[in-house]
Amino acid sequence: MSDVLILNGRLVDPANGMDVERDLLLRHGRVAAVEKPGELRAIKGKEILDAKGMIVAPGLVDVHVHLREPGQTYKESIKTGTTAAAAGGFTSVVAMPNTVPVNDSVAGLEWMLDAARGAVVKLFAMPAATFGSMGEEITDYHELQRAGAVGFTDDGKPVLHDRVMRAALVAAAGIGVPISQHAEDTRLTGGCSMNAGPVAFRLGLRGMTVEAESKIVERDIRLLRDIERHDGLRPHLHVQHVSTAKAMSLIRTAKADGLHVTCEVAPHHFALTEEAVGEYNTNAKMNPPLRNDADRLAMIDGLMDGTVDCIATDHAPHALFEKEQEFERAPNGITGLETALGLALRVLHQGRGMSISRVIELMSAQPAGIVSLEGRGALSVGSFADVVIFDPAAEWSFAVKDSRSKSRNTPFDGASMLGRVMATISDGRVVFKG
């Protein structure tokens, strides 16, 4: 592994409060030096990256991706999914457990995290919160954490039983990791394929109500209060892909009350509304669904006021033949790793005035903190050498034909983006050059 010298860039490192011109030296997979321009030029035997006019930032961290391996590698593999991540500026990703079989055992977790899978960036994982993600009995959290788990989730299959969710929160609190919950009361969403509203009515589709999301968030917050009061523990609830104003309000109140609640918002939920479904466009079908504009604006408000802790893609690749069928039968999910930064900069920075530093914080330091990735999400001396270099002024359009993912299921083909990734460095290795 050769030294990498990054020169002439604008270092934006929110974790260290830096937004200033600096040169970086990366050595043996770590940040070896951060110095004023010109002070590192005499170092020999290194790869030099000229970042003039570019932003140099901590590598992005995504706490919510689906990589489909094992069992569905016709959609995506760990190698192709992490290659797409690198192209999007991500240097760490957290894989969800809804593989085939479900990742609910030490053997399965170790297999997934093995270097033989060919991950291009750093791969972490959240195994299933319950065996088989069936919501009946929690998995062995202690053993799974020792094998590398950074949290637990039944993503896509919410834990509905109060008794089981309470046990999950208590067990996770005991070892200091989050329970990451897909907030959907599936007893209210059977046969539903998009948001309940005028578009669903026009298309003749059954819609998911706001209450299907908010009721689970409300129940989980109530369990947190009960556990703190009666067990003396402080569980960490992480609410995945929040999509409704009502759920956001509940989370905001819980935070104000001092409960340990974090949450994420996906780029599609702050960039699009249910109108993107158009005439049964399955590439705009996901769960939770695209909502109305009031909900979209509530997601932006949550990002702007600090209620939202991070941006996460919910990258969910599907094969073309799966999406090319009746809307109600097509699977939920879109790809997102290559479009997240461009959408965040266009919608939040350019559109709403969020600082670039805050955008980077929502996509690096804060998600790293949610799952306790020590040494990542910052560019301190000694930190892992995870870096993204991007042109903040570059305006471009995403072309799905050029995607590094195996799948092409995105509503953002041809969409305008701001900020082009020029290089991604993971653990000191240059894994992408634009």
pLDDT digits (tens, 9 = 90+) for 131-160: 999 999 999 999 999 999 999 999 999 999
Bridge partners for 432 per DSSP: 424
Q: Are strands 207-208 and 152-153 parallel, antiparallel or unpaired?
A: unpaired
Whether residue 343 contacts residue 412, with contact meaning beta carbons closer than 8 Å, is answered with: yes
Phi-psi domain of 341 (left: phi exceeds 0; alpha: psi -120 through 50; beta: other): alpha
The 10 Å CB-count burial string (b at 16+, else e) for 121-157 is bbbbbbbbbbbebebeebbbbeebbebebbbbbbbbb
Find where tokens 């992480």 sit: 238
DSSP H or E run through 352:
helix 351-352
pLDDT at 41: 77
CA distance 64 to 155: 9
CA distance 238 to 127: 15
CB contact set of 283 (below 8 Å; sequence gap of 6+): 323, 334, 409, 410, 411, 413
In the chain, where the domains are located? 58-377+404-416
- Which class in CATH covers the domain with range 58-377+404-416? alpha beta
Model pLDDT for residues 251-274, shown as the tens digit of each residue: 999 999 999 999 999 999 999 999
| Phi/psi of residue 270, nearest 5 degrees | -105, -5
| Residue 305 is among the residues annotated as catalytic for this protein | no
Q: Are strands 18-27 and 30-35 parallel, antiparallel or unpaired?
A: antiparallel
- Whole-model pTM: value is 0.97
One-character DSSP codes across 3-54: EEEEEEEEEEEGGGTEEEEEEEEEETTEEEEEE-TTTTTT--SEEEEE-TT-
DSSP H or E run through 361:
helix 356-363
Task: Show the tokens assigned to 26.
Answer: 């990366």
User: Could you tell me the CA-to-CA distances from 90 to 65, 202, 367, 376, 387 in Å, in that order?
Assistant: 11, 39, 12, 11, 9
Whether residue 183 contacts residue 240, with contact meaning beta carbons closer than 8 Å, is answered with: yes
Selection from 321, 342, 341, 317 nearest residue 405 by Cα: 317
pLDDT at 2: 78
Selection from 216, 126, 125 nearest residue 165 by Cα: 216
Whether residue 194 contacts residue 205, with contact meaning beta carbons closer than 8 Å, is answered with: yes
CA 275 to centroid of chain Cα atoms:
24
Give the chain's residues under pLDDT 50: none
Residue of 314, 386, 413, 427 marked catalytic? 314
Task: Show the tokens assigned to 271.
Answer: 């960039």
Model pLDDT for residues 103-115, shown as the tens digit of each residue: 999 999 999 999 9
CA distance 374 to 246: 33
3-state secondary structure of 429: strand
CA distance 377 to 257: 27
> What angle (nearest 5°) sits at the alpha carbon of residue 89, between those of residues 87 and 93?
95
Task: Show the tokens assigned to 363.
Answer: 């996509």
Whether residue 126 contacts residue 96, with contact meaning beta carbons closer than 8 Å, is answered with: yes
